[in-house]
Chain A
């Protein structure tokens, strides 16, 4: 039971973007997807959310193929936060967050209020999205996903436009979501953030799984050098947390 990719192969146009990717995701855990640009991280997330056609393999949710599930049931179970944070009309913040309730067909005000509170966007609720800063809008869009109370949260670079404080807050939020029995799969670029939040790391290279497992075993200088083409320096602090900085070309 759970969410898993089983031998996923995805082609976009003539290019094979993912090749035979298998990975199990667990509820209550944070899986960080890492890899260089073009390694297939975003495509993997989109495939797991059944947003791209899979050439081979499948994504299984509690044993059934997500591509064959009714769209509504899938949407209730899996929340997806795209990398693209565009909001095409200047809607009110509360209306945007309420869109998260669409798969449930209700306007459960409790869930909406909880999502606003969790992302610290209550004070923005009566404003319009165009009046927000990039970081505020990113938090509102995360609140939109949380309002749907999914069992799985797939987030594609949720820290991209956030300042340091809100990066840490969002990481804590994802951590908290996992503690609340949600399964979290998140694409990140910053290795120190990844090390801080990851229970498991899925490291992709050229559309294939380079390594998958507990963060300590995957986030090693050797694997990271192979995935990113850079040498990294790893500083282990006294509390066991790791700080990872690039130190030169591999």
Chain B
């Protein structure tokens, strides 16, 4: 509980910072005095910060749920192929010229949900988590191949540039409409994921023991797939692919909250939100007119960090 409070405070602080910083610094006194910079805050930064908050929470939460469900600390939303499928949908919309914001979102969302339905159908009788990882990997590879194919048939270089920019993942210039499209799906998906807690705890003892405790593994599977599909799919549909959050955040928090999967869910959501808000603010502080892409920044922060974490663990277990 105390950890949740501290994480919530951290999220609140980073949320406020996210409203203040950027290419134009909007000091607090400009918020009340009818300063024109106020429009930057309301039209750009509030929706952006809210999206960052939701995206981070969805990624952190789904990472924690998937790690618990697959009983593997290396799982993240990527293993189900949701992100790749949503990206495929968005790229298809861009290449085929359905370039409106709503069109891209709807296509990405439809692809994410379609991929999850396919995954559920492929693994309906599956007894082992390995089947999910395999099917998810196949889906992700297929989606990546189709995405590459679509880029190769793009009508002109501008579309290619647009696609590549989108794929890199960013919260740049996302407005209130993006938020309105994505938020209901992300919140709905998160609610489904939060309902998995006790079942994940029981799964710690293995499938048979969990079932003997009254856990319905079919229902759990449906919750995990649908919850991840909706929350991460909607996130990717508006922001592009942002990796590492779902992998690193639960991993970081596990030593603090203990290994019980249900205890990790809310802290991971808060931690993910804090990480994305913080990283997105840093992205905007880079000198020059451009911004570093959030997806790129996350990988650049995340990969060395994760490496350090693994090396540290190795030191502990060998020492």
Residues of A within 8 A of B (CB): 46, 49, 51, 71-72, 74-76, 78-80, 82, 84, 86-92, 95-96, 99-100, 102-103, 128, 141, 144, 148
Cβ A95 vs Cβ B258 within 8 A? yes
Cβ B215 vs Cβ A144 within 8 A? no
Of all A-B residue pairs in the complex, the 9 with the closest CB atoms, nearest first, are A75-B214, A80-B212, A89-B259, A88-B71, A71-B214, A72-B214, A90-B259, A102-B213, A103-B214
Could you list 19 examples of A-B contacts with CB < 8 Å?
A49-B208, A51-B211, A75-B214, A76-B214, A79-B212, A80-B209, A84-B208, A86-B205, A88-B71, A88-B203, A89-B260, A91-B259, A99-B202, A99-B204, A99-B213, A102-B202, A102-B214, A103-B214, A144-B205
Which of these, A84, A90, A148, contacts B206 with CB under 8 Å?
A: A84
Residues of B within 8 A of A (CB): 68, 71, 198, 201-206, 208-209, 211-216, 258-261
CB distance from A29 to the nearest CB of B (A): 21
- Residues of chain A within 8 A (CB-CB) of B198 are 102
Cβ A88 vs Cβ B215 within 8 A? no
Known contacts A88-B71, A100-B213, A102-B213, then 10 further A-B pairs from the complex at CB < 8 Å, ordered by chain A residue: A76-B214, A82-B206, A89-B260, A91-B259, A91-B260, A92-B260, A96-B204, A99-B204, A141-B205, A144-B205
Cβ A78 vs Cβ B205 within 8 A? no
- Residues of chain B within 8 A (CB-CB) of A82 are 205-206, 208-209, 212
- Of A49, A78, A99, A100, most buried by chain B (CB within 10 Å of CB) is A99
Cβ B208 vs Cβ A91 within 8 A? no
Cβ B261 vs Cβ A89 within 8 A? yes
Given A71-B214, A102-B213, A92:B258 Cβ within 8 A: yes
Given A84-B206, A91-B259, A99:B201 Cβ within 8 A: yes
- Residues of chain B within 8 A (CB-CB) of A91 are 201, 204, 258-260
CB distance from B162 to the nearest CB of A (A): 43
CB distance from A49 to the nearest CB of B (A): 5
CA–CA, A51 and B214, complex, Å: 11
CB distance from A158 to the nearest CB of B (A): 13
CB distance from A195 to the nearest CB of B (A): 28
- Of B205, B212, B213, most buried by chain A (CB within 10 Å of CB) is B212
Given A88-B71, A91-B259, A102-B198, A71:B205 Cβ within 8 A: no
